[in-house]
Amino acid sequence: MNTKVFSDDEQIRRVWDMEEVKDLMARRAYMYMQDMRRQEIEMLWVQKPENRETAVFGSNWGFYLGLDNISAWYVGEHGNLRQKQLDEISKNDPAVENKPENLGFGSAIAAPLSTALVEIAGDGKTAQGLWYSIGQRTDPNGDGTASAYWVCGKIGADFMKEDGQWKIWRVVEAPDIIVTPGDAVANQSVFWEEGANLMENLFGTPTVSVTAHDPTFNWSDDFPHAPKAYYTYDPKNGCCPEGVLNDWRPY
Amino acid sequence: MNKANLSAEELVGRWEERREIKNLMGRYAVSFLLKKEASMFADFWAAREDVCMGLNDGWYVGREAIANWFAAIDRATALKAELLKADLPDKLEGQDLKDLYGIGDFDVKPLGTPVIELADDLKTAKGIWYSQGSKADVTESGPVSYWTFGVFAVDFVREDEQWKIWHLQYLENIKTLCGQSWAEPEKPFPELEAFAVLKDLKLPEPTEKVTLMEYYSPKKPMARFPLPPVPYDTFVNTFSYGYEKEV
C-alpha cells in the first residue's frame, strides 16, 4: 500500500471517499438516535445480494451474520422491545395512547461519534473505520420511571462501494463502559452478574456467540481494529468473526 | 451531483468549502467557551435580515431578536462576575471587573458527528452536529455544572466570499446536573442569598414561542431532532433548518 503511487486526481477522490465514509457513519448515528433502524438498514447498508449475505453486526458477545439476521434482531427485536415498553406505559398510564407514533415513549438514545480513523483500501473497493462513542441509553421502566446509562466504547465499521456509493457492510459496537449517570466508572462491576449487563441483554442471541471484545479489568484489546493502511480487504483485520483477536487475554 | 463527473480541481474546491464550514462551526463552539457572546453575532452570522435561531422554547427571528439574545448573555456574564467578586473577596478583591468577565461560566459545546452538504451551486450549505457538552453556570444556587446533550442544525450562506450562519437550531434534549441522572427528577441545590438576584435573570423571550424540543423525561415521547441534510442543487429545492411560519 505504501508503495502505491496515486495520481493527483486519484488522491483527491480518495480524500472525498474518506469524507463520504465519515458522513455515512454520522448519518447512521442520527438515525440510531431516533429509532430509524429500518430506514438505516434500507438506506445506509449494502443491498446487493452477495454483500447482504456477508454483512455483519457484532458486539462484545458475538456477531449477527447476513443482513436478514441483522434486520431480524436490529429492527425486529428492537421494535418488539419498544412495543412492550409502550404496552406497559399505556397500561399504567392510559393517557399515553398505545399507537405507533408513541413507540419510543420515555426513551432516549445516542451514540455520537468522534476520533474518526478511516482508511480507504488501495484498490478503492472497501474502507475501514473506527470511532469512539461516548453515548447513552435510557429506557422506560413502564411505571413512569426510567433507567439511564452512559454507554461508551469503540464503534468499528467496514464499508463497501456499491454503484459508486459507500455503504455500511459490517459494524461492531464494542462498549467498554456501561454505568449509571452519577455513579463513578470505578464502581462499574468488574464481573457482571448473569443477566445484569444491559447491553449484553439487548444484544439478544447472535448467529455466532463469541467473546469479541472484553473490557474486563478495563483491559482494552484492539477489536474492533484500529484500521491500518491496506490494499485489499482482509477479514482477519475486519469487523467480523475472523477479525477477533484471541491471543491477548491475560486470564 | 455525481462527483465522478467533477474535475480534481472542482473536488479540491468543494473539499475546501467543507473545511471552512467545519472551521466556522468550530470557532462558533469555541466562542461559547471563551465567552465571546458580545461579538458572536457580528462574527459568525449573515448580514441579511432573514436570519433566525431556534432554541428549545422557540424562534428568534431577524437580526434584532438574535442580537438581543447574545447581548442579554453578555450582560448576564458581567453580572455573574460582579456577584462572584463580592462572594469571594479574599480571592478576587481589587481585581478589575473587566478582567473577571467570564469567571464561573464554562460553556463547552464540542461538536461531533458532522454531516455536511454543499449545494451544487455553492451558494448555500447545510450541516448538523451532535454536541455532548457541559455547562458550568452561575445560578441562584451559586456555581453549578450540567451535562448538556443536543444538536446544532445549521443553514449557511455565502456572503462576500465567506460562509456565514443563516439559520441555526440548537436543540438540547438532556440538561442534567452533573452527578445526577437525567432519568430521575432533578434534585436542585439550595438557593444562596449572595446569588439570589440571578433568580430573576431571564433571557429575552423568543419571537415565536413554540416548543421545538422538550428536555428528556420518562413521561414524554422520544425527542425528534432535525434530520441530516441530503444532497441538493439549490436551496429552494431542499428543506430549511430555519423558521417557517405556519399558514
Q: A110 contacts in B (CB within 8 Å)?
A: 130, 132, 149
Please report the pLDDT score of residue A247 as a whole number: 67
Taking CA atoms, B183 is separated from A156, B174, B226, in Å, by 29, 10, 23
- Report the residue from B8, B128, B220 with minimal CB separation from A12: B8
In Å, how far from its chain's centre is CA B49? 19
For residue A141, the chain B residue with the least C-alpha distance is B218
Mean per-residue pLDDT over chain B, rounded:
96
Please report the pLDDT score of residue A74 as a whole number: 98
Please tell me if residue A124 touches chain B, with a CB cutoff of 8 Å: no
Please report the pLDDT score of residue B247 as a whole number: 61
CATH of A8-241, one of 3.40.50.300, 1.20.1600.10, 2.40.50.840, 3.10.450.50: 3.10.450.50
Give domain limits for chain B: 3-237
Please tell me if residue A43 touches chain B, with a CB cutoff of 8 Å: no
Question: Which residues are paired to B8 by β-bridges?
Answer: none
Q: A12 contacts in B (CB within 8 Å)?
A: 8, 11-12, 15
For residue A20, the chain B residue with the least C-alpha distance is B115
Instruction: Tell me how far apart the alpha carbons of residues A71 and A77 are, in angstroms, rounded to a whole number.
Output: 9
**Torsion on CA atoms B208, B209, B214, B220, rounded to nearest 10:** -120
Please report the pLDDT score of residue A251 as a whole number: 52
Q: What is the pLDDT of residues B92-101, one digit of tens each?
A: 999 999 999 9
Please report the pLDDT score of residue B44 as a whole number: 98
Please tell me if residue B115 touches chain A, with a CB cutoff of 8 Å: yes
Q: A108 contacts in B (CB within 8 Å)?
A: 173-174, 182, 216, 222-223
Please tell me if residue B19 touches chain A, with a CB cutoff of 8 Å: no
Please report the pLDDT score of residue B1 as a whole number: 75
Q: Do A34 and B219 touch (CB under 8 A)?
A: no
- Report the residue from B130, B221, B223 with minimal CB separation from A29: B130
Which candidate in A11, A12, A102 is best for mutational testing of the B interface (most B CBs within 10 A)? A12
- Report the residue from A23, A103, A147 with minimal CB separation from B115: A23
Q: Identity (one letter) of the amino acid at B32?
A: F
Please report the pLDDT score of residue B178 as a whole number: 94
Overall fold of domain B3-237:
Nuclear Transport Factor 2; Chain: A, (3.10.450)
Residue A186 corresponds to which cell in the numbers above?
470505578
DSSP classification of residue A77: I
Please report the pLDDT score of residue A186 as a whole number: 82
DSSP classification of residue A190: S
Q: Read out DSSP for chain B?
A: --GGGS-HHHHHHHHHHHHHHHHHHHHHHHHHHTT-HHHHHHHHB-SSTT-EEEETTEEEESHHHHHHHHHHHHHHHHHHHHHHHHH-HHHHTT--HHHHTTTT-EEE---EEEEEEE-TTSSEEEEEEEEEEEEEEEETTEEEEEEEEEEEEEEEEEETTEEEEEEEEEEEEEEEETTS-TTS---PPPP-GGGGGGGG--PPPPSEE--S-----TTSPPP-PPPPP---SSGGGS--SS-----
Question: Which residues are paired to A132 by β-bridges?
Answer: A114, A154
Instruction: Tell me how far apart the alpha carbons of residues B159 and A193 are, in angstroms, rounded to a whole number.
Output: 59
Helix (H) or strand (E) holding A202: helix A198-202
Q: What is the pLDDT of residues B129-181, one digit of tens each?
A: 999 999 999 999 999 999 999 999 999 999 999 999 999 999 999 999 999 99
Please report the pLDDT score of residue A249 as a whole number: 62
Please report the pLDDT score of residue A216 as a whole number: 80
Please report the pLDDT score of residue A250 as a whole number: 56
Q: Identity (one letter) of the amino acid at A61?
A: W
Q: Mean of the pLDDT values across residues B98-125? A: 96
For residue B116, the chain A residue with the least C-alpha distance is A23
Instruction: Tell me how far apart the alpha carbons of residues A15 and A11 are, in angstroms, rounded to a whole number.
Output: 6
Q: What is the ipTM of this complex?
A: 0.95
CA angle B76, B65, B220 (to 5 degrees): 80
Please report the pLDDT score of residue A185 as a whole number: 81
Residues of chain A with pLDDT under 70: 1-3, 218-219, 247-251
Please report the pLDDT score of residue A2 as a whole number: 55
Q: Name the pLDDT band for B122 (thresholds 50, 70, 90).
A: very high
Instruction: Tell me how far apart the alpha carbons of residues B160 and B88 are, in angstroms, rounded to a whole number.
Output: 47
Cβ atoms of residues B55 and B171 within 8 Å: yes
Q: What is the pTM of this model?
A: 0.96
For residue A104, the chain B residue with the least C-alpha distance is B222
Cβ atoms of residues A120 and A21 within 8 Å: yes
DSSP classification of residue A76: I
Q: B225 contacts in A (CB within 8 Å)?
A: 30, 33-34
